[in-house]
Structure 1
Amino acid sequence: MLTSVPGFTSIPSLWLQIIIVAVWVLLILLIAWVVKRFATDEPEIVRKIVHIGTGNVILLAWWLDVPASLGITASIVASAVTLLSYRFPILPGINSVGRQSLGTFFYAVSFGILVACFWYLQQPQYAVIGIMVMTWGDGLAALIGQRFGKHKYQVFGSQKSWEGSLTMTIASYMVSSLILLSVEGNVWQTWVVSLAIALVATGLEAVSFLGIDNLTVPLGSAALAFALIQLLSFG
């Protein structure tokens, strides 16, 4: 099968999909590298640029109808690279050697699990919800919490801020609403389910250690969205 995109009519669609995704990821890494060069005292900004930028790959995979096998393979490769980066300086500025968090690894794993589950069910929007809640909710919560978080609280020894948690709730609600609105339409269930996702995702993000929220938030958000929509029988 050949794609009809102008200038690429001779390229198989699968290869074009790979090229588009690869170019996007390389662009994000380039932006992160430039920011790292000029903001050496802001390592969290570099990590969140990569966190948010690469997370949006799930949107490209959805829109381009990327095969599940490609998404799973990419997840396996990314998981292996991130594991190695904890021992070797493969991803400087994103992972520090010996860093006491497996968040980047869990993030890559969550991609593969969600693609495997919801592409198989032909319901990719739920995988997108899970990843996008983690991408924008957790990403913005970390940035806002660290810069403006004045009111702190602790859950199982992990310190959070109410400002960061509020950001997580709002961002999660917004991305969930937009995705469900595009699929299910402007019905009351869209807004109720989005609110439930936002609240649960915020709770899962608050109860985190060693970066486990990068797995529990996307998986929990996607599973909750799928379960509630089936229960409410719309769509």
Structure 2
Amino acid sequence: MTLPFHQNLSILLVGLYLGILILVSEILRRYYQANSEITRKIVHIGAGQVILLAWWLNIPSHLILLASIGASIVAILSYFLPILPSVNGVGRKSLGTLFYALSIGILTFLFWDKSLPQFTAIGILIMTWGDASAALIGQKWGKNKYQFLRSTKSWEGSFTMFVVSAIVILIILFFVYPWQYYFVIVALLTALIATILESFSIVGIDNLTVPVLSAIFCYYSLHFFI
């Protein structure tokens, strides 16, 4: 099947963006001895912005789903083989990269063809910005620790997750819908759910639960008011 020119161009732009992102992370790791956790966060945050690019370019859902499947296969291979160590180190006891790729596919399946890409974006960007910010703040300034279901977190990191998630939701709702007072309620409740889900991150499962369940909760809570 031959794709229209604009779709080919869109795919090329997304592929170029991801290629540059991974190349930069690999250069930082190999030539500047950047910490592997830093390079993973660069890819984590950068890759999340692809959903905005896909939304803007109106990329069809089947292409996003194919990309999700392909990324999932690469993530599984990189767990066992030295493929892109800047993304996922060999033998690292986390399937976060795999769950991240799967969450994009699941959210695309749930919302994209229903003309609701904003909820796909909300789920992915909560994970992208909220989780990454929580990790960075928690590692640097997280002094007050707590344990939840065998996961150790900091209150500083969790608070950051809550605030950043709420901001992400409000920004997207503001640009998609006419402003309503209840957006604040929806954002705060969804951010709370996301923060609770993020506090349990054994083997990286939060990369799946946070975006998928947060987006679903946001969708239904918003339509409760509409």
TM range (shorter): over 0.9
**Which of 18, 21, 25 is the matching residue for 2:18?**
25
Q: Which runs of 5+ in 1 are unaligned?
A: 1-10
Q: What is the identity, as a one-letter code, of the residue corresponding to 1:161?
A: S
1:196-225 deviation per Cα after TM superposition (whole angstroms, max 9, x unaligned) = 111110000002211100000000111011
Match of 1:113 in 2: 106
**TM-score computed with the length of structure 1 as normaliser:** 0.91
Match of 2:190 in 1: 197
Q: What is the identity, as a one-letter code, of the residue corresponding to 2:210?
A: V
Q: Relative to structure 1, is the Cα distance of residues 39 and 147 closer, same or farther in structure 2, using a 3 angstrom cutoff?
A: farther
Name the SS of the counterpart of 2:80 in structure 1: coil
Partner Cα separation in structure 1 for residue 142 and residue 34 of structure 2: 19
Match of 2:139 in 1: 146
Q: How far is the alpha carbon of 1:191 from its aligned partner?
A: 1.4
Structure that is richer in helix per residue:
2
Q: Does the CA-based 8 Å contact 1:85-1:91 persist in structure 2?
A: yes
**TM-score computed with the length of structure 2 as normaliser:** 0.95
Quick check: 129-138 or 141-150, which moved more? 141-150
Partner Cα separation in structure 2 for residue 174 and residue 35 of structure 1: 30
Q: Does the CA-based 8 Å contact 1:86-1:96 persist in structure 2?
A: yes
Quick check: 154-163 or 47-56, which moved more? 154-163
Quick check: 211-220 or 224-233, which moved more? 224-233
Q: Does the CA-based 8 Å contact 1:45-1:143 persist in structure 2?
A: no
Indicate the RMSD between aligned Cα atoms, in angstroms: 1.3
Name the SS of the counterpart of 1:160 in structure 2: strand
Q: How far is the alpha carbon of 1:231 from its aligned partner?
A: 1.2
Name the SS of the counterpart of 1:101 in structure 2: coil
Q: How far is the alpha carbon of 1:35 from its aligned partner?
A: 2.5
Q: Which runs of 5+ in 2 are unaligned?
A: none
Q: How far is the alpha carbon of 1:119 from its aligned partner?
A: 1.0
Partner Cα separation in structure 1 for residue 48 and residue 217 of structure 2: 19
Match of 2:85 in 1: 92
